[in-house]
Structure 1
Amino acid sequence: MPVDRMLANLDLNLLVTLDALLRERNVTRTAEALGVSQPAVSAALARLRRHFGDPLLARTGNRYELTPLAAQLLALTGPALAGVRRVFDVTPDFDPSTMEREFTVITSDYAATVLGPLIARRLAEASPGVRLRLQQTTPYTVDHAADTLRTADGLLLPHGFLTDIPFVDLYEDRWVCIVSRDNDAVGAELTLELLAELPWVVLYNLRTAFAPAAQQLRLLGIEPRVEVVADGFLPMPFLVAGTRRVALLQARLAGRLAEPAGVRVLKCPFDVVPLAEAFWWHPIYSNDPAHVWLRGVLAEAGRELAVASSRSEDFAGIDPIG
C-alpha cells in the first residue's frame, strides 16, 4: 500500500532527530544531546525540511522558534517514539531479570512516599536493569490524562477523577484531620463547627483538582476557610504546625509525618469515603508484556502496603483500615 512504501523510504533515525530538534530548537544542542556531529544534525534537518515542505525552525533574532507545523509535530513525536520503543522492546520470551527499561509513573508526593519505596524495592530485586521514574502529577496531567498516558507508563491516582481508562486497584487509605500539637482550640475530637471556624490548608483548590474528602465536606454545606494552598501533600503538616490551621491528609502519610511535623492526627467528624488508590494506563500498553509485568509488581506492592495497615507508625492511633 502507498503508506507502507512511504514508511519503507523513511529513516527512523530522522524521528529521533526531529524530536530532539523540536525540543532543543538548536542544532548544536541537538547534536550534543544525541551524541552525533553538528553536520549530521544539519543534514538531517535539511532532509526533514524537504520531507515536510516547511522550515520547522524559524530564526527570530538570535534564536530559533518552532513554526506552526513544528509545534503540531512536537505533540506527536514523543508518543511516536514511545510506540516505536514498545515495538522493539517485545521479545519472544519475556524475562524481567534481563530487561533494560525505564518505567515512568506519574504520581502524587503522597503515593510516591507510601507506595514508591515498595515498588522500587520489588523492581530492583526482580529486574536490576530497570529504572523507575516517579514524576510529580499536576492538575494538567489529570485533566488531560488521555494524552498524558501516551508518553508515561501510568498514573497513580484515586478513583473519582478518571473514566474509561484501564486501571488496577492497589490499596485503600483513610482521610484524617491534622491540627497543630499546640492548638488548644481543638480538644480530643473535632466537630463540624470547628471545621467551619478554623483556617485551612488545602490541596490545589481548583475546580478539577482537590482532595476528595474536602469536596465531601463542601457537600455538607461547610466551605473551608482557605488560608494556605499547597501543590502537594508533604508540606501540609508543616504548614499546619504552630498555627490554628487544620488540613485533611491520608492516614498513612499523616502517621509518618505527625511526629516530625508536630501535629496531632484526629478522626474526621463526618463520614468520609475512603481513598481508593489505583494505577491507570493507556490502552496501548494493555498487551505489552513488560507493562503487564509492571502492573503485577504494583499490585503486589499495594497488597504489601495493605497488610502493613495495622502498624501503628502508619496510622498514629487512627483505627487501621481493614
Structure 2
Amino acid sequence: MLETSARLLALLSLLQARRDWPGQTLADRLEVSPRTVRRDVDRLRELGYPVQATRGPDGGYRLDAGSELPPLLFDDDQAVAVAVALQTATMSVEGVEEAALRALATVRQVMPARLRQRVDALQVTRVAKAGWQPSRVDTAVLLAIGQAVRAREVLRFDYAGVRELAAGQAGDRRRVEPHHVVTWGGRWYLIGYDLDRADWRTYRVDRMTLRTPNGPRFAPRPLPAADVAAFVAERFEGHDPLPCRGEAILHAPAAAITEWTRGQAIVEDVAPDRCRVSAGSWSWTGLAAWFGMFDVEVELIGPPQLREATAALAARFARAAAG
C-alpha cells in the first residue's frame, strides 16, 4: 500500500486523467478503502485542489477548475511536451516571451535529470524559408478572437491589406461572424463570414485591429466545405496538386506541430494537447510516414487508403526491426 504522500500524488494524477471517477473505482486503483479515499480527497481540498463530490449510484469525485491555479502533476511525456511547447511559443505569438521563459525554467527545475537532458538536447532555431514569411501576433488579440468564436459574437475590426500596410493605414472596417482560428504557413488566420460582403473570408490575424465591444451574438452558419481543413486548402491552394491527402489527430498542441510543417499542412486546434492536421503527399505510404515523423501519438481520420498504407508501413518496419 502506498504511503500517504505518495497516495495523494497518485490520487491527484487519476483525478487529472479524466473528468469523473466513481469512489469505489478510485479505491480499487489505489488499493485502499473508500473511507481512505474520502480522507485523501479532504487533504487535497485543504491543499487548494477543487475536488467536488458527484452524485450517482456509487458516488464519486471530480477535479473542477478553481479560482486559483494549484500545483499540477505531469507524467514524463506531458512534462517534455510542455517544455517543448514553451520553447516554440514565442516564435509566432508576441507578449508571452518572458512568461514562457519563466514557465520553462519552473518546469525544468523540477524535472528529473533524464527529462532535463531530453529537453536541453532540443535547441530550436528559426530559419526563414524563401517565400515563407511567418508572422507574430499579439497574445491578447488571439485570446479576444478565440473568446468571440466561443461566445459566437460578431467581431468588429479594421483590416489592413497590402495597400493599407504600405501607407500605414488601419484599413477597412469589417463586421464578421468568427468561425475558427487556424495556422497556415507560419501565420494565424481567422475564418469568418463577412456580414457586409455576404461571403466567407479569411483574415490574417496580424493585420486585424480589434474594435470593442463585440457585436451581437449569432447562430453559426454551415461552412461551405466539408471541414475547416478543406476550406483553407481550397482558399489558399485553389486546387490540391498532391494526389494523396489525408487527416489525423496528433497528440500535441497545434503550435508545436505548426512550427515544423512549414506551410505543408493545415493545423487546427481541437484541444489544448491535440490538433487536427490535414496534409498531402505524392503517395499514401509517404503521407503515413510524414504523420509518423512527429514522435507523438496519432489517431488516423482517413481516408481508408491512409489507414492501409499505415498498416503496410508498420508491418514493413516490424520486419526490419526483427532483422
What TM-score bracket applies, with the shorter chain setting the length?
Answer: 0.3 to 0.5
Q: TM-score, length-normalised on structure 1?
A: 0.33
Larger radius of gyration: 1
Q: TM-score, length-normalised on structure 2?
A: 0.32
Structure with the bigger RCO (C-alpha within 8 Å, sep 6+) is 1
Q: Which has the higher helix share?
A: 1
